[in-house]
Amino acid sequence: MEALTSYLDLVSPDDTRIREQLRRLHAEIACADQILCDGVRTLRAYLPATQPEGVAEELSRPRTKAAMASVAH
């Protein structure tokens, strides 16, 4: 979602309404990302210590920030 929203930022005309909607989308995506990160932290707290190594890491794969590092605004 973040990549698509950033792409729209690049190709959209300079329309105030469009820019405002894209700003809101970015904010909603950031909020959803924070909720997911919090959920992963909660899951890590409840995972038994006997879980195979890598289970928690698989749950917390980077989502938007690392993937978006190469997108220029």
**Residues 73, 61: Cα–Cα separation, whole Å:** 24
Q: What is the pLDDT of residue 68?
A: 52
Sequential DSSP letters for 23-68: HHHHHHHHHHHHHHHHHHHHHHHHS-TTSPTTHHHHHT---HHHHH
Provide mean pLDDT across the span 3-10: 91
Return the domain boundaries, the chain: 2-68
List pLDDT tens digits, range 30-54. 999 999 999 999 998 888 765 556 6
Prediction pTM value: 0.60
Mean pLDDT of the chain: 79
Residue 63 and residue 36 in contact, taking contact as beta carbons nearer than 8 Å: yes
- In eight-state DSSP terms, residue 14 is S
